[in-house]
Structure 1
Amino acid sequence: MTLAEIARLAGVGRAAVSNWRRRHPTFPLPVAGTDARPQFSLPEVREWLSAEGRLPEEPQPLDLLWPEYEALGSREAMGALVARIGLRLSGAGPAREEGLPPLNQAASDLLKRTLDTADAQALEGVFEQLLERWLRTHVRQVAATPEPLARLMHTVAVTVRGASVPRSVFDPACGTGMLLLAALGDATDGGSPAVVLGQDNDAVLAALTRARLALATASRTNQPDIRIAWGDSLRSNEFPTAQADMVLSNPPWNERDWGDAELATDARWVYGQPPRTESELAWVQHIISALSPDGVGVVLLPPAVASRRAGRRIRTALLQNGVLRAVVALPPGTTAPFGVGLHVWVLRSATSADSDASDPRVVLVDAARDLPTVPGGGVPWDALTDAVRRALRGEDVAGVVRVPVVELLDGEVDLTPARHVPDDTATTAADLKHGWTGFGRLLGDVSEAFDFLSTLAVSDERDQAWADIGELELADALTLKAGQALPEASLLRGDSPEGGIPVLVGRHFVDVPRLWVPAQLVRQGREDDSLTVTANGDVVVSALARAFDVQVETAAPAVLGPHMVAIRANPALLDPWFLAGCLHSAANARQAGTHSSTSSRVDVRKLRVPRLPLHEQQRLGDVHRRISDFDRHLDDLRASGRELRQALGELLFAGRLSTK
């Protein structure tokens, strides 16, 4: 086991395990690996954790087997074994394992022991646990559609198509099968598709989908006909005659080698041959070709597809033929890449009878508008799904517009919803007056700071005795404690709710998005000394040279991330505001800097402080407090000024400004 695996077994962060190893001489010694990545014996680790009372509960059998899965090494080897587990548990024979690499002896033994471990009453749960761990381990290599997004896309298809149950559902780039699983749902007999088709270019992913769907439908009386093929859907379409009532897909994006040359004369390109840079429009036309006359296709695409110049001709043809019915712009965070708001395109067959030929329109939905805030910065899936459903039903929802096709057929054919949805956040006269009032108040704060700071005199005295932070630490005038890297799974993003503890990282101690951790994790970190938690009056230093900064903590508690240091001054000997003011000096940081690597740091112990009596420290500390207030007022004034500038610009653009 690695240190990370020990941390997962014990339910703590990796930093806590490193601390145990350093502080406890009885901690097991490495049995393999390297100095940088040591590996430990699982029985020895379990024995030590149990003896120390750090094993939260009796590990589940799969917890003990998983390190052996990771020892298989590659993504393909691990995924193939997980797929075989699912297929065997579903009762499928070896013939369903086509395309998978052969098993070696270790994998065969692990397969047998996993099947022996599986509870006959929870076969699907065993497979889903293994699949979830495999996806988490290889999150950068496998882009799986999140379950809430799959449900949303299925809801879109049902809303557009109507209440009738689709006879068949198809995903030509099925991945791990989440979209097909959403289409199957938990429907009773007669309420789910009779035929389920899927294809993926990755044999392991195709096998995982096959197993997943087989287990999900194992208890149904009327078994659907599930056919999952392995191969490239564009180059080698295994279902050329498919006429699906519902097609759901999250195809690959930004591909350059998708076969544009060899498929130049393909019959699927009814709306124009896709350029090499427009692989997404090749998938769109592939999906359209697989629709039944009353079928609906829902496809997830990057936002650039709606406006790229190279795809303008195809977008024009899709609009003119009534094939593209809606574009839904989702908020960022729905799936990877999480910083981009993706688009959902809704497609119908050109022969569909539900279009209004006399006044064809396209529904454009900016679904990111007016969504409630979720603690941690997540996506409010229920509210988002409900808003999209209502928008597609024609209800009055913010951020929706039905645009006549003729208005979209200009020189750009830009289908980005935000470019067409009216702005409902226009600045009012009251907003502008409120903005000027706040700006004036901040000007007063800056003026008050100016009145004090501009009167400070400068002494010519240069003789000064100094003390290093290291010397003061030895003299018990202060204590130092460094921050640690926190497990990625523990970090939550966005404004922290009540009970959330902020994490201080980076320049000015702010990360974008903001980071926080639950209070329960902080309590545990205090107990096992795996976290550095601040108190009011601590001087916090960001020690990376390129992001050096200092502040006095006034809103404790907070958790310190890597390259952060908390200095707790002895109030009988040191004033924290005076200390922070001295440490904040750029000249002080330069002389304490280390340049042994590209990520140079400031050695906090080498920072210097003048030797002054406490009453003089307190006088200068009050000056630094005022300087800090001045800095904060300037930042607030700058932000308020930018908001006013934006509001004035918007009013000017709208022709709503006048001079008296």
Structure 2
Amino acid sequence: MAKDVEVTVADIARLGGVGRAAVSNWRRRHDDFPQPVGGTSVNPVFSLAEVRRWLLAHSEGKKLPEREWLWQDLRACTASDDPAELIADLGAFLVYLHRNRADWAELSAADDATVATELPRRVHAVCAEILDDPPTPHSLAKVEVPLLRRLADLADADGPATTFGFLRDRWFELHSRRTYATPEPVAKLMAELAGLAAEAVLDPACGTGALLEPFRSRPNGPPGLLLGQELDAATARLTAVHLAFGSARVKIAPGDSLRNDAFPDVLVDTVVCYPPFNDRAWGYEELAADPRWDYGLPPRMESELAWVQHALAHLKPGGTAVLVMPPAAANRRSGRRIRSQLIRRGALRAVIALPQGAVPNMAVALMLWVLRRPADARAPEHVLMVDTATRPVDFARVAADAWARFDRGEHADEPGVSTAVPVVELLDDAVDLTPARYLVPPAEDLTPERITAEGEKIATLLRATADLIPAVEALGESGNLPTVPLAELERRGMLTIHQSMSAANFSLLLSDLPFFTLEELLGEKRPDDVAPPSVLAQHVIAVEPGDVLVTQHATRLIALVVANRCVVPGPRVTLLRPDPERLDPHFLAGFVSGSTNVRHYTGTGSRLFTDIRRAEIPLLPIEEQRAYGEAFRRLTDFGRDLRHAAAMGEDLIRLISDGLTQRIVRPAGTHTNGTR
């Protein structure tokens, strides 16, 4: 008998095809709404069976999202709280549908008992063509055949790979701390640097398989071989099934690659890897005499250099490895001997600094190290250094183009971006591999005309900025107005409140969608206009003009009224959607972020608690709200332009200073006999 699983408010919203705010309204307005069966007052959980009965009774003929109901019904099929094995077996079934739909059409015509008996064997036979040592999907026999038929129907509508992606994403949400997916632009860049035509590719710390995914289909030639190792056994199996939707053969092994290498004698064309950083327990003591340390024993605190040598040990002569590395690995004193050996023997070919934010949730800008196992005794004379910090929009193209030119032996120097550094310049006492250290600043057009034009530009901006200061007058004795919390305004239907997902889930599921950055919310950068996403997951809300985005920064809240962009809110951002006929958005944003509201968020310590529903605003007539809103809007524009003018001012200071010191200009009214 299937168990009754517990569902959260977010799950109920998905099952009903609504937002979380609607579920909150149901709980307040309907006495017959199911009561929580566990969880906490902030995050309650409910009985799926009770929620099912309530939603079916109140759906009023509305078509409910089938895949969400199927997901919860599948969760109920397993006695374990972790359905990883079931999802992997269902994924194997979807691979079977992907590769042999005709066989399923024949088998599904039989009765349920025959399907339950025969299906595991047929799925195993098909998966054996792709997966090395595929386990027999025994749990399929435990799933009611009608559920499998529903899953097959969903795969017919959405495609088997997309359907498995949905199941896999739901599992990742349940276990967001166990996995991390490398952003697609970085994964594609690493594949391009390594060479997409590789016959055999290894990722020794493969996680969700994001770095192997670009290699699932070779552009030319027969299918390749994808090898991976992942510490978490459940993630390893899900990754193997995910990659099996391509044309390559796949083998993903569980275990620790450094301590228990699953492929000890295997040499491949390409290694890609995003290793764990700062791992003090990587095995320094037991692996001290390991033959992989051909370039020197990695220091105890330099686990990343152990992964570098592990990758090189698995390469064929001439093979290429691309690893994500922390910037400290480029200049830590403890690792300079190994860095020196990598350079002297021609293994390190390029260091590429990624822009800040290319890998979300990292406080520093990461690097890519491109390595090649030497094919002969002649070491290269140069190492490519690339810094894409100034090119965040097209960083992948810039890095790939620089590497392609360098690898062909062509001129790869671009001022401020890339340069080929002679090996002798790198082999000093520090052996510092930070690209910015070796780049020549781009030449500037430093002329008297440019200096004058920049000065006039900032003067014009300052005059326009001063005009933005709103005119105000004394309020008198009527300054104290009764205020109402946002929770009450939501109850009255004057606005809705939408909470964003966690940063971990955001980076896993939505990192490829455009979202508001902290710089945009702070007003330090004007938001770019982008086209709205064509398709959004049902539980994801798109930002609309007039919405108010609120986020925490240091010990204050920042609120921004959206003008003309339609994107997802971003991690840790609350979206307020006011009814513009009853609540002016600029008025709302101004009072929510005001200093008087801080008392509603601050606890006993210095931490800010962002329960936005406790924020209070006065209720004024809509025309008066709009007058306040216009003042707040002008203040927002004033602050943004003032920060922009300050940045321009710093540039102007540098321009005039360089002009004076380089004898391009002189102080006005100065008459000397000096020559330029």
TM-score, with normalisation over the residues of structure 1?
0.70
Residues in 1 aligned to 2:260 and 2:372: alpha-carbon distance in whole angstroms: 23
| Rounded Cα–Cα distance in structure 2 between residues aligned with 1:268 and 1:417 | 27
Contact 2:202 2:271 in 1 (8 A): yes
Deviation by residue 1:352-375 (Cα, 9 ceiling, x = unmatched): 47x6x4x611112234554657xx
Cα displacement (A) at 1:348: 1.5
- Could you list the runs of 5+ residues in structure 2 that have no partner in the other structure? 1-6, 93-119, 508-513, 668-676
Distance in 2 of aligned mates of 1:432 and 1:50 = 67
Indicate the larger mover: 144-153 or 553-562: 553-562
The CA deviation string for residues 414-457 of structure 1, in whole angstroms up to 9 with x for no partner, is: 2222332333374644554333213323444577789x98xx99
Distance 2:308 2:186 in 1: 19
Conserved in 2, the CA contact under 8 Å of 1:508 and 1:549? yes
Q: Does 1:362 align with 2:368?
A: no
Label 1:595 to 1:305 Cα distance change in 2 as closer, same or farther (>3 A): closer
Structure 1 unpaired stretches of 5+: 374-379, 494-499
- Equivalent positions of 1:171-570 (< 5 A) are 171-186=203-218, 190-193=221-224, 196-214=226-244, 216-217=246-247, 224=249, 226-337=250-361, 340-352=364-376, 357=379, 360-370=381-391, 372=393, 389=404, 392-393=407-408, 394=410, 398=414, 399-424=417-442, 426=444, 428-429=446-447, 431-444=450-463, 467-469=481-483, 481-482=494-495, 484-488=497-501, 547=556, 562=574
Indicate how the Cα distance of structure 1 residues 198 and 131 shifts in structure 2: closer, same or farther if over 3 A, else same: same
Distance 2:366 2:582 in 1: 53
Q: Residue 257 and residue 605 in structure 1: after superposition, are their counterparts in 2 closer, same or farther (change >3 A)?
A: closer
1:272 CA drift (Å): 1.6
Secondary structure, counterpart of 1:140 in structure 2: helix
Check conservation: 1:3, 1:17, Cα contact below 8 A. yes
Q: Which amino acid aligns with 2:336?
A: R
SS at match of 1:82: helix
* Counterpart AA for 2:229: Q
SS at match of 2:202: strand
Q: 2:8 is matched by which residue type in structure 1?
A: T
Output the amino acid matched with 2:436: A
Q: For 1:599, give the aligned amino acid.
A: F
Is 1:268–1:286's contact at 8 Å kept on the other side of the alignment?
yes
Letter in 2 for 1:155: E
- Asked if the contact 1:156/1:388 (under 8 Å) is kept, the reply is yes
- The partner residue of 1:68 within 54, 76, 90 is 76
CA contact (8 A) 1:172 1:233 kept: yes
Correspondence 1:60-139 to 2 at 5 A: 62-68=70-76, 72-73=80-81, 77-87=82-92, 89-91=123-125, 96=133, 109-110=142-143, 118-119=151-152, 126-139=163-176
**Which residue, 632, 640, 650 being the options, matches 1:645?**
650
Q: Per the alignment, in what secondary structure is the counterpart of residue 309 of structure 2?
A: helix
The one-letter code of the counterpart of 2:382 is R
Structure 2 distance, partners of 1:61, 1:581, is 41
Letter in 1 for 2:232: D
Deviation at 1:335, TM superposition (A): 3.9
Q: CA deviation at 1:13?
A: 2.6
Hey, what's the Cα distance between the residues in 1 that align with 2:647 and 2:267? 55
Q: Do 2:586 and 2:633's aligned partners in 1 also have CA atoms closer than 8 Å?
A: no
Distance 1:342 1:644 in 2: 30
> Alpha carbons of 1:403 and 1:332: their partners in 2 closer, same or farther (altered >3 Å)?
same
Distance 1:545 1:315, change over 3 A: closer
Secondary structure, counterpart of 1:80 in structure 2: helix
3-state secondary structure, aligned to 1:300? strand
**Which one-letter code corresponds to 1:273 in the other structure?**
L
Alpha-carbon contact 1:569-1:576 (below 8 Å) kept = no
Q: For residue 5 of structure 1, what is the amino acid of its counterpart?
A: D
* Aligned residue type for 1:192: P
Aligned partners of 2:15 and 2:68 also within 8 Å: no
Contact 2:483–2:616 (CA under 8 A) maintained in structure 1: yes
Which amino acid is the alignment partner of residue 9 of structure 1?
A: L
Instruction: Give the aligned residue type for 1:266.
Output: D
- Pairwise CA distance, 1:290: 1.7
Residues 437 and 6 of structure 1: CA distance in aligned 2, closer, same or farther (over 3 Å): same
Alpha-carbon distance in 2 for matches of 1:549, 1:169 = 46
Contact 2:91 2:242 in 1 (8 A): yes
8 Å CA contact 2:586, 2:632 repeated in 1: no
Q: Secondary structure at the match of 1:179?
A: coil
Instruction: For 1:607 and 1:47, locate their aligned partners in 2 and report how far apart those are by CA, in whole Å.
Output: 40
AA matched with 1:151? K
Report Cα offsets for 1:458-507 as digits up to 9, x if no partner.
89xx7668543469xx9x9xx994551344499999xxxxxx9x989999
Contact preservation (8 Å) 1:503, 1:516:
no
CA contact 2:384–2:420 (8 Å) conserved in 1? yes
Cα 1:651–1:241 change in 2 (3 A) is farther
Corresponding residue number in structure 1 for 2:187: 150
TM-score (norm: length of structure 2) = 0.68
**Which one-letter code corresponds to 2:62 in the other structure?**
G
CA RMSD across the alignment = 5.6
Q: CA deviation at 1:533?
A: 7.6
Question: In the superposition, relative to structure 1, how do residues 346 and 445 fare at CA in structure 2: closer, same or farther (>3 Å)?
Answer: closer
How far does residue 346 in structure 1 lie from its aligned partner after superposition? 1.6
For residues 161 and 325 of structure 2, the distance between their equivalents in structure 1, rounded to whole angstroms, comes to: 31
Does 2:662 align with 1:656?
Answer: yes
2:104 corresponds in structure 1 to none
Cα distance in 1 for partners of 2:459, 2:427 equals 48
Matched pairs, number:
594
Q: Percent identity?
A: 31
Q: Does 1:599 find its partner at 2:609? A: yes
1:377 maps to what in 2? none
Instruction: Give yes or no for contact 1:175–1:209 (8 Å, CA) kept in 2.
Output: yes
- 8 Å Cα contact 1:174/1:249 also seen in 2: yes
In 1, are the aligned partners of 2:523 and 2:636 still within 8 Å (CA)?
Answer: no
Q: What is the alpha-carbon distance in structure 1 between the residues aligned to residue 172 and residue 588 of structure 2?
A: 48
User: Counterpart amino acid of 2:45?
Assistant: P
Paired position in structure 2 for 1:497: none
Q: Conserved in 2, the CA contact under 8 Å of 1:326 and 1:364?
A: yes
1:438 touches 1:640 (CA, 8 Å); kept in 2? Answer: no
Equivalent residue of 1:268, what SS?
coil
Structure 1: how far apart are the matches of 2:19 and 2:528? 16
Give CA-to-partner distance per residue, 1:1-59, whole Å, 9 cap, x none.
32211222344332233234434566x4247335541314353255246425263x554
Report the residue type matching 1:53 in the other structure: K
Distance 2:329 2:145 in 1: 47
Amino acid at match of 1:348: R
Cα distance in 2 for partners of 1:204, 1:418 equals 41
**Structure 1 pair 78–13 and aligned structure 2 pair: CA distance change class (3 A):** same
Contact 1:371 1:384 in 2 (8 A): no
Q: Render the CA deviation track for 1:371-402: whole Å, top value 9, x for unaligned.
A: 657xxxxxx86787566545644466852211
Secondary structure of 1:53 counterpart? coil
